[in-house]
């Protein structure tokens, strides 16, 4: 039998997992829709070679407010969940195997934590790097394989990342490999396509599905960022790259009834949930037509959940509300060797 405290702990764990993961879900199967444009189709999957090294800068923020109310005991007062990660990601592509118009990619990543205030952040705001020495930038190595369909396997070393760093890394992977789920025959300007996926993160609400709509809006000159002034100088005089601008919007749909939204794992704990969940996000990505690399991308997401959790016999119940907002930015900054490599 669950008392109200253990009931609340179980729900809170699920709510926090859901809050940490709801924004990172772009690796999914796509459903292609025909387009009306006469422009030439392009394949935007990254064009890579073994031994190539690239550097990205990631900024990832999440602010989550959680509130609870119970008529049985004093209300549980969860602390806000705040994530603020700034990092450089240097990726060495160790093996690239052709798979039709795409490829299987085995890579080694160096994750270098930076200080958010270095980018003009609020130095008074808590972050995952607040206790780090100003003269030390931790570097952690992770190996992984990205398949031609966007699936991620053979991950090694990610246990060294903090939960916040892991979330930022997952955000980078999902954006870097987003073209893996584009239509197999390529896309052309003006084309639209859809994709959907069942939400896999633990949540007190069953039957949650993301429905995404993507559009190849137009072509624009790419705007790259540079870590070193020498890199900027070395590119002077070169013709600017052209990027495809891809806009993806998503909505979280609830297929379960708000009067009985109980997931199977909650039923196993003799619990029942009633409530609703909503969410939206938008990704704007600039992908090089020449290399297929995401030159820059931004993601804005928001989500809310209002759920009543109770024992199956109705004896104890807790009411939770969650509101979360996140934003992420990924920038291609340079080709550079791994430190010490």
CB 197 within 8 A of CB 209: yes
Per-residue model confidence (pLDDT) at position 122: 45
* Residue 292 to residue 146: CA distance in whole angstroms: 15
Place of tokens 């990619």: 105
Mean residue pLDDT across the chain? 78
Burial 52-88 (b: 16+ CB within 10 A, else e): bbbbbbbbbbbbbebebebeeeeebebeebebbbbbb
271 pLDDT above the threshold of 70: yes
154 pLDDT above the threshold of 60: yes
For the chain, give the percent of residues with pLDDT over 90.
Answer: 42
Region 304-327 average pLDDT = 85
Per-residue model confidence (pLDDT) at position 265: 84
Burial degree of 40 (CB within 10 A; 0-12, 13-18, 19+): exposed
Please provide the size of the chain in residues: 341
Task: Return the closest-CA partner of residue 280 out of 322, 252, 321, 248.
Answer: 252
Entry pTM: 0.79
Region 71-98 average pLDDT = 76
CB 167 within 8 A of CB 17: no
Task: Return the closest-CA partner of residue 105 out of 168, 42, 58, 154.
Answer: 154
Each residue of 41-82: pLDDT tens digit? 999 999 999 999 999 999 999 888 877 766 554 444 445 578
Place of tokens 């549980």: 76
Structure tokens at 177: 């490999």
Region 196-218 average pLDDT = 88
2 pLDDT above the threshold of 80: no
Per-residue model confidence (pLDDT) at position 337: 42
Q: Which residue has the higher pLDDT, 284 or 23?
A: 284
Region 276-302 average pLDDT = 94
Burial 220-250 (b: 16+ CB within 10 A, else e): eebebebeeeebeeeeeeeeebebbebebeb
């Amino acid at each position: 039998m669950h008392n109200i405290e253990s009931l609340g702990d179980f729900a809170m764990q699920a709510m926090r997992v859901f809050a940490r993961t709801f924004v990172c879900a772009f690796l999914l199967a796509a459903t292609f829709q025909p387009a009306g444009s006469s422009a030439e189709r392009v394949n935007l999957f990254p064009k890579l070679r073994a031994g190539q090294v690239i550097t990205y800068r990631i900024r990832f923020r999440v602010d989550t407010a959680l509130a609870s109310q119970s008529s049985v005991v004093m209300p549980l007062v969860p602390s806000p969940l705040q994530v603020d990660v700034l990092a450089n990601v240097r990726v060495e592509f160790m093996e690239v195997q052709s798979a039709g118009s795409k490829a299987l990619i085995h890579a080694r990543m160096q994750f270098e934590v930076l200080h958010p205030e270095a980018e003009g952040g609020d130095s008074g705001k808590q972050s995952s790097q607040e206790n780090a020495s100003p003269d030390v930038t931790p570097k952690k190595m992770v190996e992984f394989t990205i398949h031609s369909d966007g699936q991620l396997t053979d991950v090694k070393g990610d246990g060294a990342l903090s939960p916040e760093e892991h979330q930022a890394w997952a955000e980078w992977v999902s954006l870097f490999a987003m073209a893996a789920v584009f239509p197999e025959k390529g896309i052309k300007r003006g084309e639209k396509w859809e994709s959907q996926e069942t939400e896999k993160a633990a949540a007190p609400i069953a039957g949650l599905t993301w429905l995404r709509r993507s559009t190849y809006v137009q072509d624009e000159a790419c705007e790259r960022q540079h870590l070193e002034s020498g890199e900027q100088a070395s590119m002077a005089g070169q013709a600017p790259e052209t990027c495809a601008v891809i806009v993806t919007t998503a909505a979280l749909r609830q297929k379960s009834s708000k009067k009985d939204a109980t997931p199977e794992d909650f039923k196993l704990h003799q619990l029942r949930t009633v409530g609703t969940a909503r969410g939206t996000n938008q990704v704007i990505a600039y992908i090089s037509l020449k290399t297929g690399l995401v030159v820059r991308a931004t993601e804005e997401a928001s989500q809310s959940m209002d759920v009543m959790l109770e024992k199956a016999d109705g004896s104890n119940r807790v009411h939770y509300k969650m509101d979360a907002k996140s934003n992420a930015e990924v920038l291609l900054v340079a080709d550079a060797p791994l430190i010490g490599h």
